[in-house]
Amino acid sequence: MVLRRFPARGRRRPQQQSALATDVKKLPDSKSSFAPSTRDRIDSLNLFVRAARAGSFTRAARDLGVSQPVASRTIASLERDVGAALFTRTTRAVVLTDAGQEFLTRIEPILSDLEEAYHAVSGSLELRGVLRIGLSSSFAIREIVPRLPKFLERHPALKVEMLCSDQRQDLVLEGVDVALRLGKLPDSTATARRLGRWKRVMLASPAYLERTGVPRVPADLSALDIIAGPLSLPSGWTFHNGDQSVSVKLESRVGVTLNEAAIAAAVAGLGVVVTGITRSGKELETGQLVQLLPDWTLDPIDVHAVYAAGNAAKPAARALTDFLIEDLAARQL
């Protein structure tokens, strides 16, 4: 009679343990016959969310510190568990199916709540994971990117992903943890915190003013070419000088949806532009643009941090908001 030794119940075979040890994160192997632990399930869901947002298993694996084959097997195992295909695979990217999009919408708030619970109970001040920030390209380039080194120095285990677009992102569909938005907020159930108020200025290039002359009062603007940028108001501009207020309705000659393009148009001598003073600081310092009507002020623009409705703000999102309120206040936007 030949006796065979079977592994003890509930213990992994040595070769399974060594395979798992090759990865920093111990995600469940789809070939294993053992039920994944709660921690493994959470790691699998985090991987799914990263793959959905990145559109790539490879990038998601790199972000979470596992190999690409393990990531692919983990997603395949998750799809078997839920009984539906979550991704459509192509040679260039992976795209969520309708079922995958529905699953993502339901899973992300749960993972955020879990992260909040761990953070609250452990009392740890260390922030981990990925913070997704939605903001305009100009605000990212001129205001946020220069401040990121200081913020990330405080939180070395945190990763940041910026979704830069001058069209406002859908916080839920795009998985934005916090959106930084300028101007009046639409009525919604989203939670918002004001970061500060942004001073607006009217600018033009010296070469353009040599051709047209320098305006002395708001009424003189009717003779100038107007560049309508994202911080221009469709109803016109209202100027204040002490107790006096003057509203001017003007038609634009050039209209652009990007702040950087509006500033570039003014530098090129296409006309007069209204923008935030910090968004044009370099052009003012170099003399490419000069401020018009310095004795008159325009209504400032509010800057808000916005969180998706119905979701508790991630600790990292709150930390960034607190940091920006403090830092921007020091700059007195």
pLDDT at 264: 93
41 and 171 share a domain? no
150 and 277 share a domain? no
Classify residue 276: in a domain, yes or no: yes
Any residues with CB less than 8 A from the CB of 312 and at least 6 apart, and which?
A: 112, 113, 116
Residue 191, domain extent: 125-198+302-331
Q: How far is it, in rounded angstroms, from Cα 295 to Cα 156?
A: 45
3-state secondary structure of 166: coil
- In the listed set 105, 134, 158, which residue is the last one of a domain according to the structure? 105
70 and 218 share a domain? no
pLDDT at 30: 42
C-alpha distances out from residue 44 to 48, 72, 97, 234, 302, Å: 6, 11, 18, 48, 40
192 and 206 share a domain? no
- Whether the CB-CB separation of 20 and 29 falls below 8 Å is answered with yes
- Whether the CB-CB separation of 178 and 169 falls below 8 Å is answered with no
131 and 181 share a domain? yes
Q: In sequence order, what are the beta bridge partners of 42?
A: none
Q: How far is it, in rounded angstroms, from Cα 221 to Cα 243?
A: 21
Any residues with CB less than 8 A from the CB of 83 and at least 6 apart, and which?
A: none
Structure tokens at 106: 């339901």
pLDDT at 18: 38
- Whether the CB-CB separation of 216 and 263 falls below 8 Å is answered with no
288 and 162 share a domain? no
295 and 210 share a domain? yes
Classify residue 173: in a domain, yes or no: yes
Classify residue 6: in a domain, yes or no: no
151 and 25 share a domain? no
pLDDT at 83: 92
Residue type, 97: T
C-beta atoms surrounding 70 within 10 Å: 23
Q: Is beta strand 158-164 parallel, antiparallel or unpaired with respect to 129-135? A: parallel
pLDDT in tens for each of the 333 residues of the chain?
444 444 444 444 444 443 334 443 444 444 444 445 677 888 889 889 888 877 888 888 887 788 889 989 999 999 999 999 999 988 777 888 999 988 988 887 788 777 767 766 766 667 877 888 999 888 898 889 999 999 999 999 888 989 888 777 777 667 788 999 888 887 666 788 999 888 889 999 999 999 999 999 999 998 999 998 776 655 678 899 988 999 888 888 888 888 889 999 999 999 999 988 777 888 998 999 999 999 999 988 889 999 876 556 788 899 999 999 988 776 654
The total of structural domains in the chain comes to: 3
pLDDT at 220: 92
